[in-house]
Amino acid sequence: MTSNTPARPPGRPRTGVNAVVFAATLSTVHELGYARATVERIAAAAGVAKSTVYRRWPSKGALIVDCLLDAFGPAPLEGTSRAELMSSTIRWIAAKIAEPGVGDAFAGVFSDAVSDPALREILSTRLQDPYRLALQDALGEPENRVLFFIDVVVGVLLHRMGMTGGPMVDADVTALVEMVLAHFADGPGQA
Amino acid sequence: MTSNTPARPPGRPRTGVNAVVFAATLSTVHELGYARATVERIAAAAGVAKSTVYRRWPSKGALIVDCLLDAFGPAPLEGTSRAELMSSTIRWIAAKIAEPGVGDAFAGVFSDAVSDPALREILSTRLQDPYRLALQDALGEPENRVLFFIDVVVGVLLHRMGMTGGPMVDADVTALVEMVLAHFADGPGQA
DNA sequence: GAGTATCGATACCTGAAGTCGCGAAACTCT
DNA sequence: AGAGTTTCGCGACTTCAGGTATCGATACTC
């Protein structure tokens, strides 16, 4: 244990502007949409130089993913029964995606990932995997079933967002909950 | 009925290269991905000038939408029972999206539409509405239920495509069919 | 033959992602 | 105190893609 206390590396420390940049990202995406929310505009909204943003995130997509991670936070995973747990998780995701800027940012980075394998890797590893593992643990379901669950919930919400420009209304979220609950009611085991 | 036979408008008629451009679009998108499939490259692959493409389609998104319309064609709507009809429709969409280039193009134009209201209008009106109306008629379901059906099927398939880079495996398509069928089994009427 | 709309080719404009280099500031270590 | 290191803001720069405009040539209709 010779170097167990890195204390602080030499050089000027980074200013604590990550939270400000995340807030500026969401508000800029919310106002202008994903494509017009350029890194330059986001940086200006945060009161920060563009080079500062690129010093911390390698690409616009990586910035968005980190911003989404910050916006979502850890999954609540509340509920005593499997049904309650799934229901609350779905409603939690729906509510988060409905927050101003979050859905637009999510759909935007998602579509960028289609033709960008590096970004797809970031999206899958940094954003999807933590929630996937937490759900596997909480639900006791195998990986492929949880991935299917995520595909259904997030896919439906993003498709509605992309087609209409707005979040899904509550009645349809309820229908989504009922449909998913019925499919997963029989517990782990089937394909 | 004075001008009931427009016959052919004056000027040089357009050459019949639409089909060639569509094929070039899909193959280019398949090879390079949506973002790198520039209009210039697509035109070159079709043996056509870029200006010719822009003379026929106002934007890249409109070209992609027309290309998808051509690739999908009319919905089969086969099956005697409601369950068979839904099942065959879902498998038909899944198979189409799995065709080389189609899924990438779909996901790409979809994500572009998120921050482009004009493109969203084109996507919704030209691509979604025809199939929505046909499904409303064939299933006897109200608009909001059919929209939910489309959200589920297309949303799930595109989310899988965007996250993994490849189409959904057959076992998961089967799970999707079962889940949707169970939800819509009770027929029209509930929310 | 006059008029019109297409064709290919090419040059151009705009905007956005990402890079680079600069001098200044804020730290740590000696 | 001073050397070394890293960040900061600022701005110029490169690259690339969507889209526009202009050109002479071509293929039609009237």
3-state secondary structure chain B: CCCCCCCCCCCCCCCCCHHHHHHHHHHHHHHHCCCCCCHHHHHHHHCCCHHHHHHHCCCHHHHHHHHHHHHHCCCCCCCCCHHHHHHHHHHHHHHHHHCCCHHHHHHHHHHHHHCCHHHHHHHHHHHHHHHHHHHHHHHCCCHHHHHHHHHHHHHHHHHHHHHHCCCCCHHHHHHHHHHHHHHHCCCECEC
Three-state SS for B88-108 is: HHHHHHHHHHHCCCHHHHHHH
Last residue of a domain, one of A67, A84, A107: A67
Examine the domain organization and report whether A122 and A163 are in the same domain: yes
Instruction: Determine which of A25, A159, A164, A172 to mutate to test the interface with B (most B C-beta atoms within 10 Å).
Output: A159
Please report the pLDDT score of residue A99 as a whole number: 97
Which chain B residues are closer than 8 Å to A179 by Cβ?
Answer: 152, 179-180, 182-183
Query: Read out DSSP for A91-143?
Result: HHHHHHHHSTTHHHHHHHHHHHHHT-HHHHHHIIIIIIHHHHHHHHHHHT--H
- Percent helix, strand and coil across chain B, each rounded to 5? 70, 0, 30
Please report the pLDDT score of residue A6 as a whole number: 57
Distance CA A7, CA B123 (A): 54
CB B86 within 8 A of CB B146: no
Select from B115, B165, B176 the Cβ nearest to the Cβ of A33.
B115
Which residue is associated with the tokens 């669950």? A149
Examine the domain organization and report whether B179 and B154 are in the same domain: yes
Q: Hey, which residues 47-86 in chain B have their CB within 8 Å of chain A?
A: none
Examine the domain organization and report whether A107 and A179 are in the same domain: yes
Please report the pLDDT score of residue A8 as a whole number: 78
Examine the domain organization and report whether B51 and B82 are in the same domain: no
Of chain A residues 47-66, which have a beta carbon within 7 Å of strand D?
47-52, 55-56
Examine the domain organization and report whether A29 and A101 are in the same domain: no
High-pLDDT (> 90) share of chain B, %: 82
Distance CA A37, CA A24 (A): 10
Residue B9 in any domain: the answer is no
Residue A178 in any domain: the answer is yes
B189 touches chain A (CB under 8 A): no
B154 touches chain A (CB under 8 A): yes
Distance CA B70, CA B64 (A): 10
Contact A151 B128 (CB under 8 A): no
B144 touches chain A (CB under 8 A): yes
Residue A160 in any domain: the answer is yes
Position B4 confidence tier, pLDDT thresholds 50, 70, 90: very low
Please report the pLDDT score of residue B9 as a whole number: 82
**Distances in whole angstroms, Cα of residue B2 to Cα of each of B5, B9, B37, B41:** 8, 15, 46, 44
Residue A32 in any domain: the answer is yes
More confident residue, B10 or B23: B23
Examine the domain organization and report whether A58 and A137 are in the same domain: no
Number of domains in chain A: 2
pLDDT tens digit sequence for B24-71: 999 999 999 999 999 999 999 999 999 999 999 999 999 999 999 999
Domain membership of residue B43 as a residue range: 18-60
Nucleic strand C near CB of residue A51 (< 7 Å) = yes
Which chain A residues are closer than 8 Å to B121 by Cβ?
Answer: none
Which chain B residues are closer than 8 Å to A97 by Cβ?
Answer: none
Position B112 confidence tier, pLDDT thresholds 50, 70, 90: confident
Residue A107 in any domain: the answer is yes
Position B189 confidence tier, pLDDT thresholds 50, 70, 90: low
Residue B45's CATH number: 1.10.10.60
The mean pLDDT of B115-120, rounded to a whole number, is 89
Please report the pLDDT score of residue B3 as a whole number: 44
Nucleic strand D near CB of residue A39 (< 7 Å) = no
Examine the domain organization and report whether B161 and B100 are in the same domain: yes
Nucleic strand C near CB of residue B8 (< 7 Å) = no
Examine the domain organization and report whether B34 and B119 are in the same domain: no
Examine the domain organization and report whether B117 and B53 are in the same domain: no
Residue B2 in any domain: the answer is no
Examine the domain organization and report whether A86 and A145 are in the same domain: yes
Nucleic strand C near CB of residue B35 (< 7 Å) = no
A114 touches chain B (CB under 8 A): yes
Examine the domain organization and report whether B34 and B97 are in the same domain: no
Q: What does each of the 191 residues of chain A score in pLDDT, given as a tens digit? A: 444 445 778 889 999 999 999 999 999 999 999 989 999 999 999 999 999 999 999 999 999 999 999 999 999 999 899 999 999 999 999 999 999 999 999 988 988 888 889 999 999 999 999 999 999 999 999 999 999 999 999 999 999 998 998 999 999 999 999 999 999 987 675 44
Quickly list H helices, chain A: 18-32, 39-46, 50-56, 60-72, 82-98, 102-114, 117-122, 129-139, 143-164, 170-184
Residue closest to A66 by CA, chosen among A1, A9, A145, A122: A122
Examine the domain organization and report whether B148 and B175 are in the same domain: yes
A14 touches chain B (CB under 8 A): no
- Any bridge partners for residue B190, and if so which? B188
All residues at 6 or more sequence positions from A174 whose CB lies less than 8 Å from its CB, including other chains:
B191
Last residue of a domain, one of A67, A95, A127: A67
B148, with CB counted inside 10 A (0-12, 13-18, 19+), is: buried
Residue B146 in any domain: the answer is yes
